[in-house]
Amino acid sequence: MLTRFFAIGLLAGLAAACAAKPINKPIDVGPVGAGPGSTAAARKYLEGHWSLESFEVFPPGKPPLQLKGTGLLTYDEFSNLKIEIRTDAKTADLLDQAGIINQGGTISSSGRTAVDMQNHTLTYVIEGQPAGFVTTGPLATNRPRHWVVEGNVLTLTTRDTDGKALSVARWKKQS
């Protein structure tokens, strides 16, 4: 009985010795993410309106398509990205044949995005995906948009699983 009492007391003491304590020293989590080259700087740069300069689609096993049309890309301070491209009827037919869903010559996608500075990608954050999102083909919203900035021109490229370009859109900053 004394042994059992001693064992219970020892276990209680050990349990008390292992109790959680508040951390009294700061934890280093790395740089805050401000300044040139940071995610915050990239988001700030992307904010505003961009007009479509050129758009090419590379459907597998078919000749490349040069899109004829206009487009507007809008990126807001909450990382929402909206793209709307309008084409002529002939281009809309070619896009259909290439597997790019469009509604009467209009290609659109919108939603919240995540910026990946290391891989230079914008990826849609798809939660409860609303109607109108492109889910298949070269412009599928589950494909990251690889980005390159040269001056006031933003180039967004979607790639297949082997890294080959499926589409390349060049956008010029308006505001």
pLDDT at 172 over 90: yes
SS3 of 11-75: the string is HHHHHHHCCCCCCCCCCCCCCCCCCCCCHHHHHHHHCEEEEEEEEEECCCCCCCEECCEEEEEEE
Entry pTM: 0.73
Q: How buried is 14 (Cβ within 10 angstroms: 0-12 exposed, 13-18 middle, 19+ buried)?
A: exposed
pLDDT > 70 in the chain, percent: 74
For the stretch 102-147, pLDDT in tens is: 888 999 888 888 999 889 998 888 665 555 454 567 777 778 899 9
Of residues 12 and 126, more confidence is placed in 126
Q: What is the mean pLDDT of residues 63-88?
A: 93
pLDDT digits (tens, 9 = 90+) for 137-163: 777 777 889 999 999 999 999 998 889
Would you say residue 171 has pLDDT above 90?
yes
Residue ranges of domains in the chain, CATH in brackets: 39-173 (2.40.128.120)
pLDDT at residue 30 greater than cutoff 50? no
Position 57 confidence tier, pLDDT thresholds 50, 70, 90: very high
Is residue 12 scored above 70 in pLDDT? Answer: no
* Between 23 and 51, the higher pLDDT residue: 51
At 29 the pLDDT is: 37
Rounded mean pLDDT of the chain? 79
Residue 133, number of CB atoms within 10 A of its CB: 17
